[in-house]
Amino acid sequence: MGIALRAVCLGIVLIAAALIRTPFADAEDACVDCHRALREERLNRPAFKIKNDYHLARGLGCHSCHGGDQTALDNKGQAHSPAKGFVGKPTRQGIPESCGKCHSDPRYMRQFNPSIRTDQVKEYYTSVHGKRLREGDQKVAVCISCHDVHAIRSVKDQMAWTYPTNVAETCGGCHGNPEYMKPYQIPTDQLEKYQQSVHYEMLTKRADLASPTCSSCHGSHGAAPPGVDSVVNVCSSCHVVTADLFAKSPHRSAFDELGMPACVTCHSNHDITYPSEAMLGGGEGTPCATCHESDSAPLKKAAELRSMIEALAGRIDQASAILTRAEHAGMEIGIPRFELITANESLIKARATVHSLDAEAIKTATDSGLEVAQKSLESGHNLLAEVQFRRKGLAASMLIIIAVLVGLFLKIREVDRRRGPESGDLTGDRH
């Protein structure tokens, strides 16, 4: 009786496990069952890829996009019956509308995610991609170009083509292919340049997912190249303070008159590197020198601004270095190190204020930072002086101790020497 009961329980457990493990496609989707058995790779590949699909995990099988009867096992005619809504492979022009059947229906999408957007298809047709698709261009990106097909993953999935760290490679799949992009006659080095930028480093090496990638500046579904007059707005969505300072500077009206885009004229667009004081002045390759003549008043002013900022940066480096030495010597440097943060904040403020070209404001920031950095530097010197004082005191103490020990040693020897003959006589008496 016990054995029979255990067998029944084991059977129930196995059945339950099978029901839990068997995905929807394996249990009911004839499409997957049949296509897995097909020899042609183009026909069986979708059936294998779909096992990781976000939609399949939520009960949406092949028929959700392709129509047909997913229950018609071993019956191709019924499975592919137009009467069952079979549409086969959607045309490229039909893909946005096919995806939009669900993704543009708020009521339908709400049951999966109440906060998900449902305007992607509408926005897509405002993009260069969408407009060209409607004109009959078969090469432009559609939904599956960026989201994959048959293995679509959540945008929060790190393996998704649309995950922030993967977006550049996804866009670069087309835009970095000179042969593919040849008909459009646009540059194809964007990905290569972007991978050299500070934005790419922040995103991929420092795991800062807020760092911009292609879609941050160009948009995603409504992707479009920023126009000359909108570049500053794109950058200012993150660099708010810098954009405000630039808007108040003499450069703003000059750039507008010359038709030069703000931000990218000095910083470039895809290969934006770390800004530094080296950009200021009239050196070879500096942004200032591309517009201003050598020895001109603007270049002299730029050199003056550079000198002020470099002075503060140098003083901060000196203070930081001497505090580090003091720390390695065992001294407590918490307070001066904390105070040095204020100097660094002044340096950041001064560097940002360069965009306003306001020399007085920059001097105010650098003077304030210099005062703090100098105080930290002096604290570091004092700490190192204290280290030396302690070391000298320790050395003097050691010398005194050694002198006392030597004195004691000599005194003991002297006592032994005085007592030596007496000890010998006593020994001789015994003999």
Q: Tell me the DSSP string of 197-253.
A: SHHHIIIIIS--TTS--HHHHH-STT--PPPTTTHHHHHHTT-HHHHHHHHTSHHHH
Q: How confident is the model at residue 281 (pLDDT cuts 50, 70, 90)?
A: confident
Largest distance between two CA atoms of the chain? 136
Enter the tokens of residue 309: 């900022």
Q: How confident is the model at residue 419 (pLDDT cuts 50, 70, 90)?
A: confident
- pLDDT value of residue 277: 87
- Contact between 181 and 175 under an 8 Å Cβ cutoff? The reply is yes
What single string gives the DSSP state of each residue in 291-350? TSPTT-HHHHHHHHHHHHHHHHHHHHHHHHHHHHHHHHTT---HHHHHHHHHHHHHHHHH
Compute the distance between CA of residue 97 and CA of residue 220 in angstroms, rounded to an integer: 17
- pLDDT value at 402 more than 90: yes
User: pTM of this prediction?
Assistant: 0.76
> Residue written as tokens 């800062």?
208
Q: How confident is the model at residue 228 (pLDDT cuts 50, 70, 90)?
A: low
Compute the distance between CA of residue 349 and CA of residue 360 in angstroms, rounded to an integer: 13
Compute the distance between CA of residue 223 and CA of residue 328 in angstroms, rounded to an integer: 53
- pLDDT value of residue 331: 95
- pLDDT value at 407 more than 70: yes
- Contact between 24 and 17 under an 8 Å Cβ cutoff? The reply is no
- pLDDT value of residue 234: 86
Compute the distance between CA of residue 339 and CA of residue 341 in angstroms, rounded to an integer: 5
Q: Distances in Å between the alpha carbon of 266 and those of 159, 215, 239, 357? A: 35, 22, 15, 14
Q: How confident is the model at residue 98 (pLDDT cuts 50, 70, 90)?
A: very high
Q: How confident is the model at residue 7 (pLDDT cuts 50, 70, 90)?
A: low
Mean pLDDT of 294-305: 91
Q: What is the pLDDT of residues 54-67, one digit of tens each?
A: 999 988 999 999 99
- pLDDT value of residue 17: 47
The residue type found at 117 is R
- pLDDT value of residue 1: 45
Compute the distance between CA of residue 24 and CA of residue 13 in angstroms, rounded to an integer: 19
Enter the tokens of residue 269: 């667009």
- pLDDT value at 139 more than 50: yes
Q: What is the pLDDT of residues 370-397, one digit of tens each?
A: 999 999 999 999 999 999 999 999 999 9
- pLDDT value at 126 more than 90: yes
Enter the tokens of residue 198: 């500070």
Query: In whole numbers, what is the pLDDT of the chain averaged over residues?
Result: 89
Enter the tokens of residue 21: 């493990």
- pLDDT value at 197 more than 50: yes
